[in-house]
Amino acid sequence: MIIVVRPDATEDQIEHIKQKLQEHGLQAHVSKGTERTIIGAIGDERILRSVPVEAIPGVEAVHPILKPYKPASREFKQENTIIDLGGVAIGGRIIPVMAGPCAVENAELTLQVADEVKKAGAGCLRGGAFKPRTSPYSFQGLGEEGLQYLAEAGKRTGLPVVTEVMDPRDMDVIVKYADVVQIGTRNMQNFRLMKEVGNYDKPVLLKRGLSATIKEWLMSAEYVMSEGNHNVMLCERGIRTYETATRNTLDLSAVPVLKELTHLPVVVDPSHAVGRWDLVAPMAKAAVAAGADGLIIEVHPNPEEALSDGEQSLKPALFAQLMEELRPIAAAVGREI
C-alpha cells in the first residue's frame, strides 16, 4: 500500500502514520520527494482492510497494491480452474453450451427442449424453477415441481442441469435436483445467499450484477469461495448502460479482463445481454472468439407462447444451426464446442 501524505502534513503527523502502520505489524518506508512525501506500507496490507487509513490526519490518498480478492485471483492460482459440472468439464479446451428455456413451464416442454439441445450438442440443460421476475404479477416459476421436470429431462438426456437459486432457504431442495446452482444478476450482491451457496459443494454460476464492476463481481465470487466452495464460474450477461437498442450491453471485454485477473471459468450469456433472438448468434460467436469458456443460451420451441423471455429465445433449429456455426470459431481459437 502506498500512502500519499498531504503537502501540509507536519512531521508529527508523518510520525503518527508510521506508528499506526507499525501497530498493525507493517513497516513504514518514508520517501520524501521534492514536492511530496509518500509512505510505503511493507507487509501484507490486507491487514489494513478494516482500518480507515484515509481518516488518519495528514493522509491525502491511499493506493492499495494487492487485489482485494484472494482465492479468486490469478496471483493465488496460476492455472485455469476446471470444474466438473456433473460429467461435463468447463475451463478446459472444450466449451460447453448450456441451453434450455428461461423457465421450466411444464414436463413435456422441458423434455422436448432437452432432447433438441442435446441433439444439437449442448453440454448442459438450463431452466429456471424459481424466477426473479421484475413484476410480481409475472410467472414466478413452478418451484420444486419445476426442479423435478428439469431433473427428469436431465436424467433422460444425460445433461447436467443448471437452475437459479433466489433464496438461501431453497438451497436444500435445489441441490437435490440440480447439478449447477445459478445466482442471478439481481442477487449478485446478496451476501447471505453467496455465503449459503458457499457452504455447498455444487458448482456455482455467478451472473454479473446489472450494474456491477468486475471488481465487485469478483468480490462476490470471493464470498462464495471464502466459505469453502471454490467451484465458481463467472457469467457475463450484459450490463446496464444508456443504450436502449438492446436489453443490456454485453461487456465482452470482461472476458479477457477476467482471464487476466482470475483463474475461474468465464461464461457468456448472450440471450439476456441482447434481449433479442436475432442478435443472440452474432454475440455468441463473438464470445467464443473472445475466449469464453462456456455459453448459456435460451431455447424455446414456441417463443411466442413462452412464459418468460420469449423475445430472446432461439427456436431449436436456430440453436442447432448456431452450434454448427460456433464450431469453426472455437477451432480458430484453439478450442472445441
Please identify, among the stretches 95-103, 198-206, 208-216, 237-245, the one whose residues bind Mn ion according to the rule CB under 5 A.
95-103
Asked whether 101 and 300 are in contact (CB, 8 A), the reply is yes
Q: Which does 116 bind (CB under 5 to 8 A by kind): ligand PEP, Mn ion, none?
A: none
Q: Which does 262 bind (CB under 5 to 8 A by kind): Mn ion, ligand PEP, none?
A: none
Binding-site ranges for ligand PEP (CB under 6 A)? 102, 128, 132, 184-185, 207, 237, 269, 272
Among 309, 319, 326, 330, binds Mn ion (CB under 5 A): 309
Q: Is 98 in the site for Mn ion (CB under 5 A)?
A: no
Q: Is 116 in the site for Mn ion (CB under 5 A)?
A: no
* Distance linking the first and last C-alpha atoms of the chain: 43
How far apart are the C-alpha atoms of 302 and 97, rounded to whole Å? Answer: 20
Q: Kindly give, in sequence order, each residue whose CB lies less than 8 Å from that of residue 134, ignoring residues fewer than 6 positions away.
A: none
CB closer to Mn ion, 179 vs 309: 309
Min separation Cβ 309 and Mn ion, Å: 4
The closest alpha carbon to 61, from 9, 130, 104, belongs to: 9
Residues from 28 through 87 that contact Mn ion (CB under 5 A): none
Min separation Cβ 313 and Mn ion, Å: 8
**Residue 6 per-residue DSSP state:** P
Min separation Cβ 207 and ligand PEP, Å: 4
CB closer to ligand PEP, 67 vs 207: 207
Residue 227 CB burial class (10 angstroms; 0-12, 13-18, ≥19): middle
Q: Is 269 in the site for Mn ion (CB under 5 A)?
A: no
Asked whether 299 and 326 are in contact (CB, 8 A), the reply is no
Min separation Cβ 49 and ligand PEP, Å: 29
86: helix, strand or coil: coil
Parallel, antiparallel or unpaired: strands 83-84 and 59-63: unpaired
Min separation Cβ 298 and Mn ion, Å: 6
The closest alpha carbon to 79, from 94, 92, 66, belongs to: 92
CB closer to Mn ion, 37 vs 185: 185
Min separation Cβ 276 and Mn ion, Å: 13
How far apart are the C-alpha atoms of 112 and 153, rounded to whole Å? Answer: 8
> For binding to Mn ion (CB under 5 A), which residues are involved?
102, 309
